[in-house]
Chains A and B, each alone.
Chain A
Amino acid sequence: MSDVTLGKAQRVVFGETLTELGAHDPRIVILDGDLGNSTRADIFEKAFPHRFFQMGIAEQNMLGVAAGLATIGYVPFISTLAAFATARALDPIRVLIAQPRLNVKIAGAYSGLLAGKTGKTHISFDDLAVMRALGHMTVVAPADETETRQAIRATTEYDGPVYLRLSRQPAPLVFDDAYRFEIGKAVVVRRGSDVTLISTGVQTTRTLEAAEALAAGGVDAHVLHVPTLKPLDTDAIVEAASETGLVATVEEHTILGGLGGAVAETLIERHLVPMKRIGLPDTFAESGPDDALLDKYGISSDRVAQAVRTFVEHPRA
């Protein structure tokens, strides 16, 4: 990964892609919880001021309004932080969007550990677990600019509720333009024979970096990227596990109930192999520089490589 090309931040892709799609699809509207200049919904507002609805700092009402709009044919996208959508507004998401399966797209910005030096109130690394547990909810966590662009397009073509996990910072490109994202499909991003790493969202970049570091030390990692947490591509997970017989999940999320939980549920029923969950422990985080946070909470590429190395040496420890 020495010659990495940095892609655009997912939040910028969010604003730009909806602006492109909005030109041809009048159903698309954005509801903003007073964070449009952070989530970059402001890009859409400039193009379509009458389809951008400021809802103020009132997330519960915003999610309810989105449900109402969906009943008369709109495709509302939510613009707020992942923490405020999935925690504060969970009740309207559950009752008004998930239960009646309404066509609302909940974009959770600033997801994961890197929420811009804001601290534990704004950091959201339990969102995948919460949204995955909701009936009817599709959960998507794209890796980079290319995949985010395609995932947003795919969610507008899909009729039903979607949680779209977005991150704040620009990240290296994992995919080129030949890549085709499909809801519910996982993709092998590195072939290897010693250990299978299963990763989601922007963590896949760091997982690939960890795989390079491991290769230098003689461990050849197979890497499966899982951009859709629900519906889960269980066949791809079983196949990837079969390639090496050892599985480690890696996510910018708590190890409780997210990707690690989903993969464990799959493997315990279909293909039992030694498994390690790498992610945040049972904790809340803190504010700090990105690199320091990733390192302290165990999901920097170095920390991931170290954890995988230990796991490969002692898979049943």
Chain B
Amino acid sequence: MTQTRPQYSAADIADIARRARIHILEAVAHAKGGHVGGPFSAADMLAALYFRVLNIRPEEPDWPDRDRFVLSKGHSSIALYTIMAMRGYFPVAELQTFDAINSRLQGHPDMTVTPGVDMSSGSLGLGFAAALGIALGARVQQRGFTTFVMLGDGECNEGIVWEGAHVANRYQLDNLIAIIDHNKLQQFGWRGETTSERITPYTGSQLADRWKAFGWQVLEVDGHDVQAFLDTMDQARAAPGGPVAVVAHTIKGKGVSYMEGNYKWHSRVPTDEEFAIAMDELGASEGGGA
């Protein structure tokens, strides 16, 4: 199989993710809608996937032997679009059409309009089942590619996730890697001591334990440590015998101080002042373009 993975360093990828966050916030501010917290928690991993891990050809999005990637946490679409644009699937300038009428960049990923999007998603849990189907078929056809799927931790509330977790284990799908963006918060979430405090859906090792209980091999990693994430992906690809769940510990809103760990930034449009602070913290003056 032709290897078409460019050799970006971990530092290169971290900088791509930093610039991606700038584009993401610009696109959301421009669209006056969209999600920020989840895209920021996933940005480093998406950059690593598209710039190093996935065997893909942006100039040939339907290349049959490409690795598949399904963003099951479809509300982080703007992060996916941004990374894909930076990787060359479509012009970065097109990010300004996010959520606009007639745009190829819909609020949630739509495989029928966006080149390189392998599966539509948005109703949570569904993308995971579809990824499982791709992996199952690929194994029967003895195809060499790997299917990656990214879920949110809140998404793991959905029953369909555990239906699929059971089935993937029964079929011992060693060509399926699930990455769980464990950013510890969901849209509104679970009440803490007071109504303004929202707490993680899965405390401690609960999330990893659940995947282990369903027979998956579980790897844990800091989802913002690019080198560690790249090493974990290598390990996940090489792991024999069955599906691998990578529980990636992340911070919702990562990269902007006032967003980090604040559930209110799940989906919110920044004010002009907030936008300026964020751009400053993300180092927009050091180069924000693609």
Q: A100-B111, A101-B112 are in contact. Are A63 and B137 (CB under 8 A)?
A: no
Residue A58 at the B interface, CB < 8 A? yes
Residue B122 at the A interface, CB < 8 A? yes
Q: A58-B163, A72-B141 are in contact. Are A65 and B132 (CB under 8 A)?
A: yes
Q: Which one of B123-131, B199-207, B230-238, B250-258 is at the A interface?
A: B123-131
Q: A80-94 vs B: 1/0 string, CB under 8 Å? A: 000000000001101
Who on chain B is nearest to A55 by CB?
B167
**Which applies to chain B's interface (DSSP): helix, strand, loop or mixed?**
helix
A68:B126 contact, CB within 8 angstroms: no
Residue A50 at the B interface, CB < 8 A? yes
Q: A71-B118, A95-B123, A99-B120 are in contact. Are A60 and B132 (CB under 8 A)?
A: no
Q: Which of B112, B125, B136, B164 contacts A69 (CB under 8 A)?
A: B136
Smallest CB separation, A70 vs chain B (Å) = 8
Q: Which of A55, A66, A73, A95 contacts B120 (CB under 8 A)?
A: A95
**Which applies to chain A's interface (DSSP): helix, strand, loop or mixed?**
helix
User: What residues on B are CB-neighbors of A70 within 8 Å?
Assistant: 133
CA distance A62 to B128 in the complex (A): 11
Residue A53 at the B interface, CB < 8 A? yes
Q: A60-B159, A60-B163, A61-B167 are in contact. Are A99 and B129 (CB under 8 A)?
A: no
- Contact count A vs B, C-beta below 8 Å: 105
User: What residues on A are CB-neighbors of B143 within 8 Å?
Assistant: 72
Who on chain B is nearest to A65 by CB?
B133
User: What residues on A are CB-neighbors of B249 within 8 Å?
Assistant: none
17 pairs from A and B in contact (CB 8 Å cutoff): A53-B171, A58-B160, A60-B159, A61-B129, A61-B160, A62-B129, A64-B127, A64-B128, A64-B129, A67-B130, A68-B133, A71-B134, A74-B137, A91-B126, A95-B120, A95-B123, A96-B119
User: What residues on B are CB-neighbors of A55 within 8 Å?
Assistant: 167
The size bracket of the interface on B is 20 to 34
A69:B134 contact, CB within 8 angstroms: yes
CA distance A72 to B143 in the complex (A): 10
Residue A56 at the B interface, CB < 8 A? yes
CA distance A101 to B113 in the complex (A): 12
The size bracket of the interface on A is 20 to 34
Who on chain A is nearest to B138 by CB?
A72
User: What residues on A are CB-neighbors of B135 within 8 Å?
Assistant: 68
User: What residues on A are CB-neighbors of B127 within 8 Å?
Assistant: 64
User: What residues on B are CB-neighbors of A60 within 8 Å?
Assistant: 125-126, 129, 159-160, 163
A64:B166 contact, CB within 8 angstroms: no
User: What residues on A are CB-neighbors of B166 within 8 Å?
Assistant: 56, 58
Who on chain B is nearest to A101 by CB?
B112
User: What residues on B are CB-neighbors of A65 within 8 Å?
Assistant: 129-130, 132-133, 136, 164, 167
User: What residues on A are CB-neighbors of B122 within 8 Å?
Assistant: 95
Smallest CB separation, B267 vs chain A (Å) = 19
User: What residues on B are CB-neighbors of A51 within 8 Å?
Assistant: 140
User: What residues on A are CB-neighbors of B125 within 8 Å?
Assistant: 60
A61:B119 contact, CB within 8 angstroms: no
Not counting A64-B132, A64-B164, A68-B135, a sample of 15 additional A-B residue pairs whose C-beta atoms are within 8 angstroms of each other reads: A53-B136, A60-B159, A63-B129, A65-B130, A66-B133, A68-B133, A69-B134, A69-B136, A71-B134, A72-B143, A92-B123, A95-B121, A95-B122, A96-B126, A99-B110
Smallest CB separation, A249 vs chain B (Å) = 34
User: What residues on B are CB-neighbors of A95 within 8 Å?
Assistant: 120-123, 126
Smallest CB separation, A300 vs chain B (Å) = 39
A64:B134 contact, CB within 8 angstroms: no
Who on chain B is nearest to A54 by CB?
B170
Smallest CB separation, B166 vs chain A (Å) = 7
B138:A61 contact, CB within 8 angstroms: no
User: What residues on B are CB-neighbors of A50 within 8 Å?
Assistant: 140
User: What residues on A are CB-neighbors of B120 within 8 Å?
Assistant: 95-96, 99-100
Q: A91-B123, A95-B122 are in contact. Are A68 and B130 (CB under 8 A)?
A: yes
